[in-house]
Amino acid sequence: MKFIESRSIEKDNDASLKHAKLLRGPYQMSFDITYNCNLKCLHCFNRSGENLWIDRELSDREIIEFAKDLAQLELFNFCFCGGEPLLRFEVMLQAAEILSASGSMVSFVSNGNLLTKKRQKGF
Ligand code: SF4
C-alpha cells in the first residue's frame, strides 16, 4: 500500500514538473492594439466605432519593440484585441511572428469583417 502511495505522489510531482516547464512565464496577456473599429456597435464597451483614441495608440515601431520585450517573458498565451485588430493587420502580423517565435500561442479577437482570404493565409 505504501508503495502505491509513493508511486502516485511521484506521478503527481512529474505532472507538476511538466506544468512548470510549460508555464515558464505569465499565462495570459491581452493587448488592445487599436481602439478603433470599422463597426459602431451599440454595446461596445470602449466606443471603438467612434474612433476617439487614434492619437493615443502606439506607433508600429513601438508595437514591434513592445513585442520584442514581451517575447523575453515567455508568455504562454497572447491575444490581440481592440477595437478591430485587423485595422492594424501588418504590424499585428509582425508582432505575432515575434511572439510566436518565442513560444507563445498567439490569437486575436475580431469582428471578422476585414478578414480576407489573403489575410487568412498570413496566419
Ligand atoms: S465590433 Fe467590437 S470593437 Fe468594434 S464596435 Fe463592435 S463591439 Fe466594439
DSSP state string for 41-82: -TT-TT-GGG---GGGSPPHHHHHHHHHHHHTTT-SEEEEES
Number of structural domains the chain divides into: 1
Q: Is residue 57 part of a domain?
A: yes
89 within a domain of the structure (yes/no): yes
Q: What local confidence, expressed as pLDDT, does residue 104 receive?
A: 94
CATH number of the CATH domain containing 97:
3.20.20.70
Calculate mean pLDDT across residues 86-103: 96
The distance from CA 71 to its chain's CA centroid, rounded to whole angstroms, is 11
Q: Is residue 10 part of a domain?
A: no
pLDDT interval class at 93 (50, 70, 90) = very high
Cα of 111 from ligand 1 centre, angstroms: 7
Cβ-Cβ contacts under 8 Å for 39 (sequence gap 6 or more)? 48, 49, 84, 111, 113
Q: Is 94 a member of any domain?
A: yes
Residue 55 domain boundaries = 27-121
- Given ligand 1 and candidates 30, 33, 43, 44, which is best to mutate, with the most ligand atoms within 8 Å of its CB? 44
Assigned domain for 8 exists? no
pTM, two decimals, is 0.79
- Pocket perturbation via mutation, ligand 1, pick of 37, 42, 50, 115 by most ligand atoms within 8 A of CB: 37
Does residue 13 form part of some domain? Answer: no
